[in-house]
Structure 1
Amino acid sequence: MPAGETGGSQVKSAVRTVELLEFFAGRPGMHSLADVQTAVGYPKSSLYMLLRTLVDLGWVETDATGTRYGIGVRALLVGTSYIDGDEVVAAARPTLDRLSDDTSETIHLARLEGTNVVYLSTRQSEHYLRPFTRVGRRLPAHSTSLGKALLATHSDERVRALLPERLDRLTEHTVTDREQLIAELAQIRERGYATDREENTLGLSCFGIAIPYRTPARDAISCSVPVARLTPAHEQLIREALFDARDRLTLATRHL
């Protein structure tokens, strides 16, 4: 076989491997071979062989019958190493701890990845009524305070290139029109922080602010609080605490 064909085959296998892992990462639980094939569209024989290879290597797991597949423990190990080795996560730890203490609410650090935000670190509120968000969770940028704070650091032209005209609706409060979102981003730039008022999860409000160690910003922090506990005074406290945390993180990340 010519060298060019071999190289092309290797690249194709690598792409398929990554696509398979992303399929499992985005769909928790176990899936049949037929379900996986329907989603990814690979020939059944080559898909089966690729799955068996990933099972042998620990990237994919099977159930007791050996006919259903899900993400494996090695994916967790690699994901954990990414968090452990990230300089921003390390630099942010004291600030996130203090922000959690100052607000008594759930705190997040997240990164913009395409049209989504990915959670890198969290501090859970000690209140009985509180949101639960795991590290590694991916949410649409347009429906979260974290995502909107980060999108606001991009130009309107870049946001138009990044997002479709119609945005997915997660709740009845989600902004689904791109131009309406762009108008909101202009307001976010003026006041310095973003809000999500039940736009991603009913009953939950969030306040987010970008960390300007890069331009446009890549990372942001947020504070999430149940609507039932959000008073005007508490909201003011959260905003002030977020601005203070941003200033501290700007200093902590100035060398990155």
Structure 2
Amino acid sequence: MRTANWTDSVSVLDRVSAVFDAFGEEDEGLGVSELARRANLPKSTVSRIAADLVEQRFLDREGDRLYLGVRLFELGQTVQQPRLLRRVALPVMAELRDVTGQTVHLAVLDGGDVVFVAVVRGPASRPLVRIGSRLPAHATAVGKAMLAFAPQSVVTAVTGRELTRRTSKTITEASVLHREFADIRRLGVATEDEECTPGRACAASPILSSGVLTPLAAISVAGPAESLVPDRVAPAVRAAAMALSRRLSTDPAG
């Protein structure tokens, strides 16, 4: 009985994991049928799992579409003081959105990926990521901003393995990335020109805190490459990151 129970538990966990893994970084929500197809599970099984996950806030439901839920972020171990980070960041993000007219993202570093933990949508910009979206750090401005200020052991762990190519402009050579990291440390801003997503540009700065070796997060402004010039929004992005760094260093309460 003990073995059977364990086998059943693993089976359930595998199915739940398959449902979570079915969500892509650019999905605007998925229906049960599409989830079932991607997870390679029966539609009835996915429907039952989804209902339970929605009840526990691991998934959010809007009409007939399902989204990754906020509770996944709340339970994450990738951000120090996550509630404080979001509470402090959201007003600054809204102000940066108003100044630039573009979508603003907040992301954290998780291994070789970045995970987006907050999004403030611009008035005329369609966001390509949602809370919980995951992208390769080396191909994003937020990832490069954090890696540039991360300990060498973290940088080596990311750049010492194969760097996947997302577009024709993705940097896949570690030596090139290291040179860019030096420029980012000098300027305080990382830029991205269609390196992760065709037609998208971005500028990002790291959020640092005294006594913490790895950046807490990074804030970015992203928009269409034909209209967003990263260098033009860089000063506003850098100022927002510095403001957040100061507030997080002086507000230890969660």
1:244 matched residue in structure 2: 239
Higher helix share: 1
> Helix, strand or coil: the match of 1:173?
coil
1:15 & 1:240 partners in 2: Cα distance?
A: 50
Residues 1:197 and 2:202 are matched in the alignment: no
Shift of residue 198, structure 1, vs aligned partner: 0.3
Task: Point out the more displaced range, 12-21 or 149-158.
Answer: 12-21
Going from structure 1 to structure 2, the CA distance change for 1:19 and 1:123 (only over 3 Å counts) comes to: same
Matched residue type, 2:228: L
Equivalent of residue 16 in structure 2, options 5, 13, 21: 21
Q: TM-score, normalised by structure 2?
A: 0.74
Q: Tell me: CA distance 1:184–1:17, structure 2 relative to 1, closer, same or farther (3 Å).
A: farther
| Correspondence for 2:149 | 153
SS class of match (2:59): helix
* Distance in 2 between residues matched to 1:248 and 1:30, nearest whole Å: 40
Check whether the contact 1:30–1:70 (CA below 8 A) recurs between aligned residues. Answer: no
The DSSP-based 3-state class of the residue aligned with 2:143 is helix
SS for the counterpart of 2:163 is: coil
In the other structure, the counterpart of 1:96 is: 93
For 2:226, the equivalent position in structure 1 comes to: 228
Alignment RMSD (CA, Å): 3.1
Say if 1:91 and 1:249, in contact at 8 Å, map to a contact too.
yes
More off after superposition, 168-177 vs 69-78: 69-78
Alpha-carbon distance in 1 for matches of 2:10, 2:217: 27
Aligned length: 220
Is the contact made by 2:35 and 2:46 (CA closer than 8 Å) also made in structure 1? no
Q: Within the alignment, does 1:182 sit opposite 2:178 as a pair?
A: yes
Q: Identify unmatched segments of 5+ residues in structure 1.
A: 37-61
Kindly indicate whether residue 35 of structure 2 is the aligned counterpart of residue 30 of structure 1: yes
Superposition deviation, residue 83 in structure 1: 5.0
Instruction: Name the residue aligned to 1:120.
Output: 117
| Distance apart, 1:249 and its partner CA | 0.6
Residue number in structure 1 paired with 2:70: 80
The residue number in structure 2 matching 1:211 is 207
Amino-acid identity (%):
29
Residue 252 of structure 1, CA deviation: 1.9
Q: 1:158 to 1:119 in 2, by over 3 A?
A: closer
- CA distance in 1 between counterparts of 2:220 and 2:126 reads 14
CA distance in 2 between partners of 1:228 and 1:190 (Å): 26
The offset of 1:224, in angstroms, is 0.4
2:53 is the counterpart of 1:63: no
Q: Which has more radius of gyration?
A: 1
Flag structure 2 segments of 5+ consecutive residues without an equivalent: 24-33, 61-67, 75-81
8 Å CA contact 2:203, 2:231 repeated in 1: no
Listed one character per residue, the Cα deviations across residues 122-158 of structure 1 (whole Å, up to 9, x for unaligned) are 111112x544321111111111001111111123443
Larger mean Cα displacement after TM superposition, 161-170 or 67-76: 67-76
Counterpart CA distance in 1 for 2:97 and 2:243 is 14
Q: Distance in 2 between matches of 1:126 and 1:34?
A: 34
Secondary structure at the residue paired with 2:105?
strand
| Residue type at the aligned position of 1:94 | P
Deviation at 1:242, TM superposition (A): 0.9
